[in-house]
Structures are given as C-alpha cells and as structure tokens.
Structure 1
Amino acid sequence: MATADYDIAIIGAGLVGASLACTIARHSDAHSLRIALVEASVDQQAFNGEEFDPRVVALTQASQNLLDAIGVWDEIANTRVCAYRDMHVWDGEGTAEIHFDCAEVRTNYLGHIVENSVVLNALRKKVAQYTNITLIQPARVTSLVNGSCVQVALDNGELINTKLLIAADGAQSKVREIAEFETREWEYGHKAIVTTVQTELPHQATAWQRFMRTGPLAFLPLSSVNGKHFCSIVWSAETELAEDLMQLNDEEFRTRLGVAFEHRLGKILRADKRFAFGLRQRHAKTYIQPHIALVGDAAHNIHPLAGQGVNLGLLDVAALSQEIHRALERKIPLNDFSILRRYQRQRLAGNLVMMSAMEAFKRLFGSQSLMITWLRNTGMRQLNSLAELKKIIIKAAMGLS
C-alpha cells in the first residue's frame, strides 16, 4: 500500500466536509498543515437552465457568513440562489397561521434556498486552490487503527496516517461505525419526497409550510426562469402515504400535491422526477474519541421539517475549526484531546436541544387528539401576535441568537 502522512484527514467532501477543509486551510497556511479530504462518490451533476438540483438547503445567515468567510458565497450567489423574506406556516388540521417577516428583525431576508450542487461546486473550486489540501476521490474507508495517530486504509489501496481524523461522511458514516461510536436512534415512520415543481403563481419570496397529521409539506422558493415560477418541495409523509404518492403518475401527483398545499400558489403546472428517502433520528452519544471527531450528519440526523440539518453541520464546522485554529496559535499538538473536548462542549448540547424541539414539533402536529389540535391552534395564534417573541424565534432560526 502507498502510505501518506497528514496532519488532518477529513472523510467526506460534501458540504460540511469541504467547508471544514477550506476553513481549516484558510487559517493554517502559515502552519503548512497537510490536509487530506477523502470522498467516496464521484462529482455531482451540474444543473442549468430550468433544470434544478432536487436537493436544496435553506441556508441561514450564520451559514452564509461562514461561506462568505471561506470565499465562496459570491460565486454561489452569482450562480443561482433565491433569498426568502417571509415564512408562512399554517396548521392543516385547523385555522391557525404564523407569519415571519424579515422586516420584523430589520434584515433584507431570512435566508437563502440554494441547490446542493451549486454550493458544493463552489467549495470544490476553492478546495483546488489550496496546495495543502489533497482531494482523494473516489475512495472509501475500509478500516482504521487508532493508536498514537490514526491509520486509515482506503479501498483504492492508499494508507493514511493522521494526527486528527474527522468524520464528515454523512448519516451512514463508515468512520462512526468502525470506531464504534454509540448512537441513539429511531425511525420517524416518515419518508421525505423531494422534487422541483413549477407553480402557476409566484412564490412571493416566501418559504411555505403546511403541517398535517401525516407530516409537513414545504414549498421552498427557487429562482424564476423565463418568467416561470419554481419551488423545491419537501413532503415528509407517513411511510405508507409516501410510498403511495411515489407510485402516482405525474398528473395524479400534481393533483394530490395541489390539494395538500391548498392551492396557495395556484395550479402545479409541472413536477420533475421525484426522489424519496426514509427519515431517521440519530444522535451520537459522544462526538469525540482520542484523535477522532464527528461533524454534521455523522454526529446528528434531524427531521427536515425546519431545514436545519446542513446549518447545524456548518455550526459544527465553525466550532471545530475555531478550536483547531486556537490550538495552532497556542502551539498545542493536534492530537491533544482538549481540542476535541472543547469542540464537543460547544456543539453537543445545542444540537440536542434542536433535535428535541424538532421531535416535539413532529409529535405535536402528528397528534389526532382534538384537545391538542385546539391547544396547538390557540398557541399558534397567540405566538403570531407576540412580536418580541417572534423576533427571538426568527433570530434563532437565522443562527444569530
């Protein structure tokens, strides 16, 4: 086997892993850190014209700030993004609604809807600009040995020795599995259907979400093309319903989707190919072992109803890169466990709070109790009238609290 030594090895070059590599490299040029970035898949397809990537992320202000600091936000914004200024949430089993407006916190927008491939392509270009980042692709981890350093074997025949191994390899993390990190996890009993749709009416720069007993439906605004209006949808539905929806032909699906969305944006004129994936709650009991850290979905999976998954991962990036930078400034060895302990103290509790809140929302809106439905609608109406509390919620959702 060919053997190479690195100071840091990041497994997974998706949005979180590539962001982490760039953030560390940006602060470590003077220190000449050698960074390996290992990715199992081949590069993603580029989507152009009226063809949108079905996978999108709702980036908060905090995530935008991180990407701007890396130096990729301008390219992302110049490629294709859609700012949303409002959020409109309503109870499909009642009459209550909540409206969040960026003007309430004196900003120009609440966040941006961006296609995954647009963000990733910009990050990959930035990775290529750093001479101290080595992208190894495609390659998968087959085994690892954790001693005075971590030795990682890849399926391409390479052997990596590293002082610090960071798992950013997603929900099915191979590093987490091999290193035997314990997790708490359970099935949501939902599948998420994602696709791009063309609507009759403009989306009004608004993120729309209807909560139903069978699961939430979100319409997320995309850029208009040639006067046509587009949204990305995430329909999280009970597994049996989701499977039925996936079996419908295009016209039947558009009809069911329009009814479920109460035709808020008129007719659904077109729907691209649908994709469905199961939803599972998963949280590592610890994010760290000596020489190893978990970030992003490798550490925590969350229901997509609030669109916070990638944003939580990027907050992990900010926290861990900050601790690495701090260690370099203070000449603390990268294999010093205090670096990882400080990272975990910053991130684990906050992620748990967010995950618990999302689980509570899912159960609250999934209840069939008439009393809970009445209480839920009463609470939503009261919240919608409390301007100061709404400001707190908006700032928290933007990652600025």
Structure 2
Amino acid sequence: MQTTFDLIIVGGGMVGSALACALRDASLRIALIDGGPLQRDNSPQNEHEFDPRVSALTVSSQRFLEHLGAWSLMVDERVSPYRHMQVWDGLGTGHIEFHADQIQHPVLGHIVENSVTQAALLDRLQTQDNLSLLAGERLQTLLDDGELGPRLRLESGLELEARLLVAADGANSQLRACAGFAMREWDYLHQGIVTTVEVSESHRKTAWQSFLETGPLAFLPLPDSDDGRHFCSIVWSNVPDQAERLMALDDSSFCQELERAIEGRLGSVLTTDQRYCIPFRQRHAVDYVMPGIALIGDAAHTIHPLAGQGVNLGLMDAAALAEVILHAHERGDDIARLAVLQRYQRQRKGANLSMMGAMEFFERLFHDRSMPLRLLRNSGMNWVDGAPMIKQQLIRRAMGLQGDIPRLAR
C-alpha cells in the first residue's frame, strides 16, 4: 500500500475528519489514521436513545460543516436548534436571558450529538479520492529520518512518512507527546457528570444554565420524540466528593437531586440514562506548530466546558489550517515549512487563548463564595441583562459571528 503522503492526519474524530474533508479538492495525498473503524455505525437508532456526548455548535461551525457537505446529513439525522438561553446564579438573584431575536437571527446554535456530527463527516470521507483511510491503526512512535519529512511507525509495524503531520488525536495526544510539544496545564478540581434525562415539560428550544455552589449545571435541549416525550442532555460540574456521591445514587434519587438543582424549571426529571463522570482539566500547547507538524483541536487546547466551546474551537482550527495549507499549495509553497504553519498559529492561538481566558474568568467568578463578590456578581448579571447593546455583542461572539473567523466558516 501507499506509504508516502503529503499530509498525514493522526486522529479521525470530528476535528481531524473535518480537516481531511476540507482538503478534498486539493491535489494532495492525504492519510487519515485512527484506532477506530472510520465508518459510521449503521445499527438501528432508537429515537429515545441519545449519545451522552453532545456539542453546542455555533453558527460559524454550522457554516463550516455546510461547506464540507456534512450539515445536511446531520439535519436529516438529528439536530436540536435553540433560540433562547437562560443563565442564572443559583445562589442569588442574578439572571441573564439571551434570545436569537435580539440579533435578528433564526437560532443561537444547535445541540448535536457528537456521534451525529462524526457520522456525517465519515460519510463524506468515504468518497474522497485523495484520501487513504487507515482504520484500526495506532501510532507507536515518531521518527525524523524520512526522505520527505517525519516518519510514523504504527503499532501494526507499518511505517508512513509525510511532508506534514497533523495531531488531531485528542487531549492525550500521542503524536504531540512524541514530537515533544511543551504544554501548560492544570486541574480544575471539578468533575462533570454527563447523561441524557427525560423531563416532563418542554425545553422550549432553550438552553438552561445555573451556577450552583458546587459548579455550573447545564440542561441542553434535545429533539422531542414522536410520541411527545421531552429530553435534555445535562452537564453537571461538581467538586470530586459531590460528584462521587451523585454517581453513587440510584436513578430515582439522582433525578430528584437534579430536579431540585435546576429548580424544577422543566417540571419533573423522569428518567436518566447511564451517567458518566469526566474530570475537567485545562491544557494549552505553548506552540501549535513546529517544522512539519501542527496541532489542532484538543491536541492543542482543552477548556472548561462552561459554554460548550471546545468542539467549536477545534473546528475553527481545522478550517484555519485547511485555508493555510490550500493557500500555500496553490502558490507552490512547502506546506510543512514553519513560516507557513505559523500563519495558522497566529490566526488561532490568540482566539483560543481569549476564549480560554473568558471561561477561566467565569469559572473563578462563580466558584468564589464570598458574600461581597456574590452581590457584585448578581448585580453585574442583572445590569448586563438590561444592556441590549452589550448582550448583542456577547451573543454574536458566542455564536462565532464576531472576531477572526476562518474564511471557510463565514
């Protein structure tokens, strides 16, 4: 089989698959490597069963996925638009509401199961002529003695080389570690409980978020079933002891605690799917690139899921890197040259750090229990809620409609 490529992407998740798909019309030899099957699961889908992993996709992410030809496939399968967002301080009176009408837009975003996005991208990749899919393959080590550029040795013994390698293999990236990228990281000392729940009242196309003493709780709207049942995906951030206690509860007791925590705003919490507990940790690569290698998505940065921006940042990384590669290739430039790759880093590093800084600020702001700060926090939320111009700016930035947006996502 072919063992030399112009570009090898390690990691076939949403971000790696999106990058490969964005380069479908380029005269580049591309390989996509992943330990999984790299094809959709075609088993029958129960309308009452949801992937516990969901993303709040912004309008800019939607536009990028439309460009890739994946969005229509996702809509055909299952997406949940939301037009309204309610945020409040569970310990006080602070409250902010956001609505799509405030910026004359049909939606604020869409809640989409990660498996739906992944399946749509994989469908697109199956027909991509310039792409080799290497499923069930895992990276063993990185060598630097290839004739073209870096050389990969896989656990199967296969060796591949390419002018450019892209690490899209997640927060614990093996390629990033092999290449020796320096990281800054710290533990949030919080864990997130994620699952799907059925509620007795409609979510009304609204995303709900309460800031509790132990951490934020989000109820994200999922599609109603044909028989009128209502579902939400939840992300409940807690300190480790509290998370352990909640995970140990039986389903009925957990639903009762969850209903109290959300103040019954969606009626009764009737049922819960299997619960998963995920530790929250922030990571950020000091540099995203070195000669012949680039990091994208969680391999470059992970943030607190406070606003559901992690996947959106990764998709914008993929869009920006694709633009840089396409532009360099059209000009006859070396796509692996450090000066070329630094164009991608300049575009994305500042934007990612800005979002990470904002999430860090809000996480610390709502984690502080002191009474003076709590009063200031509640007053500030209510003031912003009454300031339409500021709210419009916040909405546009959260939707990915403001700032340095890659051309493919506009």
Alignment-derived partner of residue 196 in structure 1:
196
Q: Does 1:14 align with 2:13?
A: yes
Number of matched pairs:
396
Q: Distance in 1 between matches of 2:18 and 2:397?
A: 22
Structure 2 partner of 1:61: 59
Check the 8 A contact 2:181/2:287 in 1, yes or no.
yes
Distance 2:342 2:102 in 1: 38
**Other-structure match for 2:393:** 392
CA distance in structure 2 between the partners assigned to 1:327 and 1:380 by the alignment: 46
Q: Is the 8 A contact 2:214 2:238 kept in 1?
A: yes
Describe the superposition over 1:224-255 as per-residue Cα deviations: whole angstroms up to 9, x where unpaired. Answer: 00200000001111111111111100001001
What is the letter of the counterpart of residue 358 of structure 1? M
| Aligned-partner SS, 2:93 | coil
Task: Work out whether residues 206 and 221 of structure 2, in 8 Å CA contact, stay in contact via their aligned partners in 1.
Answer: yes
Alignment partners' CA distance in 2, 1:339 and 1:271: 49
**3-state DSSP class of the match of 1:172?**
coil
Letter matched to residue 17 of structure 1: G
- Does 1:82 pair with 2:77? no
Report the equivalent of 1:40: 35
What is residue 101 of structure 1 aligned with on the other side?
99
Give 1:334 deviation, angstroms: 1.8
Deviation at 1:3, TM superposition (A): 6.6
Structure 2 equivalent of residue 174 of structure 1: 174
Q: Cα deviations across residues 174-209 of structure 1 (Å, max 9, x unaligned)?
A: 011111111110110011111000001000000000
**Counterpart of 2:408?**
none
Does the residue aligned with 1:129 lie in a helix, a strand or coil? coil
Counterpart residue number, 2:317? 316
AA in 2 matched with 1:60: T
- Per the alignment, residue 162 of structure 2 pairs with 162
Equivalent pair of 1:167/1:176 in contact (CA under 8 Å): yes
Separation (CA, whole Å) in 1 of partners of 2:120 and 2:316? 19
Cα pair 1:193 1:277 within 8 Å, conserved: yes
Instruction: State the distance in 1 between where 2:362 and 2:335 align.
Output: 40
Deviation at 1:78, TM superposition (A): 1.0
Where does residue 132 of structure 1 map in the other structure? Answer: 130
Contact 1:168 1:294 (8 Å CA) reproduced: yes
Residue 215 of structure 2 aligns to a residue whose secondary structure is: coil
- Corresponding residue of 1:145: 143
Amino acid at match of 1:187: D
For structure 2, the 5+ residue unaligned runs are 403-410
C-alpha displacement of 1:41? 2.6
Identical aligned residues as a percent: 47
Match of residue 353 from structure 1: 354
Which residue of structure 2 lines up, in the alignment, with residue 205 of structure 1?
205
3-state SS in 1 of match to 2:237: strand
Cα RMSD after superposing both structures: 1.1
Residue 48 of structure 1 deviates from its aligned partner by: 3.0
Please state how far the C-alpha of 1:42 moved relative to its aligned partner.
3.7
1:146 to partner: Cα distance: 2.7
Which residue of 1 is the match for residue 289 of structure 2?
288
The one-letter code of the counterpart of 1:37 is L
Moved over 4 A (4+): 43-47
Secondary structure of 1:315's partner?
Answer: helix
State the one-letter code of the partner of 2:369: Q
One-letter code aligned to 1:196:
T
1:220 matched to which residue of 2? 220
What is the letter of the counterpart of residue 21 of structure 1?
Answer: A
8 Å Cα contact 1:3/1:158 also seen in 2: no
Scaled by the length of structure 2, what TM-score is found? 0.95
Kindly indicate whether residue 3 of structure 2 is the aligned counterpart of residue 4 of structure 1.
Answer: yes
CA distance in 2, matches of 1:177, 1:334: 22
Which secondary structure does the structure 2 equivalent of 1:25 belong to?
coil
TM-score, length-scaled by structure 1: 0.97
What residue in structure 2 maps to residue 234 of structure 1? Answer: 235
Q: In 2, Cα distance between the equivalents of 1:120 and 1:389?
A: 35
| Paired residue type of 2:199 | T
SS at 1:265's partner residue?
Answer: coil
Distance 2:118 2:2 in 1: 28
Give ranges in structure 1 of 5+ residues lacking alignment. none
